[in-house]
A and B are shown apart, each in its own frame.
Chain A
Amino acid sequence: MHIPDGYLGPATYGTMYAITVPFWAIAAHKLNKTLKTRQVPYLSLGAAFSFVIMMFNLPIVGGTTGHATGATLIAILLGPWAAMIAVSVALIIQALLFGDGGITALGANCFNMGVIGGLAGYGIYRLIAVGSDIKSARRWIAAAVAAYISLNLSALVTGIEIGIQPMLEKTPAGQPLYSPFPLSVAVPAMVLEHLVVFGFAEALVTALVVKYFQKSDPSMLGA
């Protein structure tokens, strides 16, 4: 899901930076106001987790690979704003040091995985878990469902960003200047693999860690 440099034209990557930077600003402001002292050390941990879990490329036999992001998990434990920042930090280091995801595409990638992952993951989790006991099964089920749906939303938006490129910037002869694959190719390719395989990986990782916290330190799961 890490869009490399060159796939998105300036119209798209510029727009995505313009959308994502305000989210970073709001997140910074929210973190300062709402993050509890005992949660602070978990921010570095969450960012490190997001970084390393994305290295676990899972294969579809004879096909593509993909991975979980940890965004929903961080959002459940530390809130959506922390998730946004932590996943973005992982993505920035991945782009700069390892060439995983483009520099021009960082706004888009941080939006797709960090902003959507954090907000959708948190929102869906709260929606399902609201009113349930911290140690109830409904909590980890909510975590799994939220993780599955939010990763798929991230994949959908990634597919749309890539898929609109042939419509946006072309040579005078009409050849696409950036990613040449239309929406009808990019969206199904991105979404299907996440619906079938990678969404379940995100759900599994998220539910397992939430279950672990239910047992070992339920106070991290808030009210």
Chain B
Amino acid sequence: MTNLKKMWIAIGILVILSPLGIILPKLFNAEGAWGEWGLDKIGKLAGFVPEGMKRIRERWKAPLSDYGLPGQSGALGGQSIGYVVSAIIGVAFVAGMMYLLTKLLVRKKNK
């Protein structure tokens, strides 16, 4: 098996293991990344919600917001499934976009 193939299998394993990225924080009572809070939490932390922030914070509605499926169960099991599906979709989009960019960018072939 080529190294490249092995590496893609490794990506597949990471995709399957990705729910660790939500399970571990829950297990250790970690609240999420610093400075990536929603408007509610900002209001609590700062005592007010800044005007400009209010205008643009939640303007873009991402289709799979927070790596979850629309209407998924709030339980950790449901979240984990949403997370894996998001990882699969994300890896496909990222690899696909990178592949198209490469086609555009790397025209001359270097040995």
**Chain A contacts to B: CB under 8 angstroms:** 1-7, 9, 28, 31-37, 40-53, 55-67, 85-86, 89-90, 92-100, 102-104, 158, 162, 169, 171, 175-181, 186, 189-190, 193, 216-217, 220
Bound state CA distance, A180 and B29, in angstroms?
25
Q: Quick check: A178 and B110 within 8 Å, CB to CB?
A: no
Q: Quick check: A175 and B48 within 8 Å, CB to CB?
A: yes
Q: Quick check: A98 and B11 within 8 Å, CB to CB?
A: no
Is B75 engaged at the interface, CB distance under 8 Å to the other chain? no
With a cutoff of 8 Å between Cβ atoms, the chain A residues found around residue B64 in the complex are 97-99
Q: Quick check: A86 and B98 within 8 Å, CB to CB?
A: yes
Q: Quick check: B110 and A28 within 8 Å, CB to CB?
A: no
Q: Quick check: A57 and B24 within 8 Å, CB to CB?
A: yes
With a cutoff of 8 Å between Cβ atoms, the chain B residues found around residue A2 in the complex are 33, 36
Name the contact of A59 in the complex, choosing from B28, B63, B67 (C-beta under 8 A): B28
Known: A93-B97, A178-B53. 8 other contacts (CB 8 A): A6-B55, A32-B107, A36-B110, A56-B20, A93-B93, A94-B90, A175-B51, A186-B35
* Distance (whole angstroms) from the CB of B58 to the closest CB of chain A: 8
**Chain B contacts to A: CB under 8 angstroms:** 3-4, 7-8, 11, 14-15, 17-18, 20-22, 24-25, 27-36, 39, 42, 46, 48, 50-67, 83, 86-87, 89-91, 93-99, 101-102, 105-111
Name the contact of B65 in the complex, choosing from A36, A99, A162 (C-beta under 8 A): A99
Bound state CA distance, A57 and B95, in angstroms?
21
Known: A62-B28, A99-B65. A34 touches B110 (CB 8 A): yes
Bound state CA distance, A6 and B39, in angstroms?
9
With a cutoff of 8 Å between Cβ atoms, the chain B residues found around residue A1 in the complex are 33
Bound state CA distance, A67 and B33, in angstroms?
9
Q: Quick check: A52 and B18 within 8 Å, CB to CB?
A: yes
Q: Quick check: A33 and B108 within 8 Å, CB to CB?
A: yes
* Distance (whole angstroms) from the CB of A206 to the closest CB of chain B: 14
Q: Quick check: B111 and A37 within 8 Å, CB to CB?
A: yes
26 contacts between A and B (CB under 8 A): A2-B36, A3-B35, A3-B36, A31-B102, A31-B106, A32-B108, A35-B110, A43-B102, A44-B98, A48-B95, A51-B90, A51-B94, A56-B18, A57-B33, A59-B24, A63-B31, A66-B34, A86-B98, A92-B97, A93-B93, A97-B64, A175-B48, A175-B50, A178-B52, A180-B42, A193-B34
* Distance (whole angstroms) from the CB of B51 to the closest CB of chain A: 5
With a cutoff of 8 Å between Cβ atoms, the chain B residues found around residue A33 in the complex are 108, 110
Q: Which residue of A lies closest to B7 (CB)?
A: A45
With a cutoff of 8 Å between Cβ atoms, the chain B residues found around residue A57 in the complex are 21-22, 24-25, 30, 32-33
Q: Quick check: B56 and A104 within 8 Å, CB to CB?
A: yes
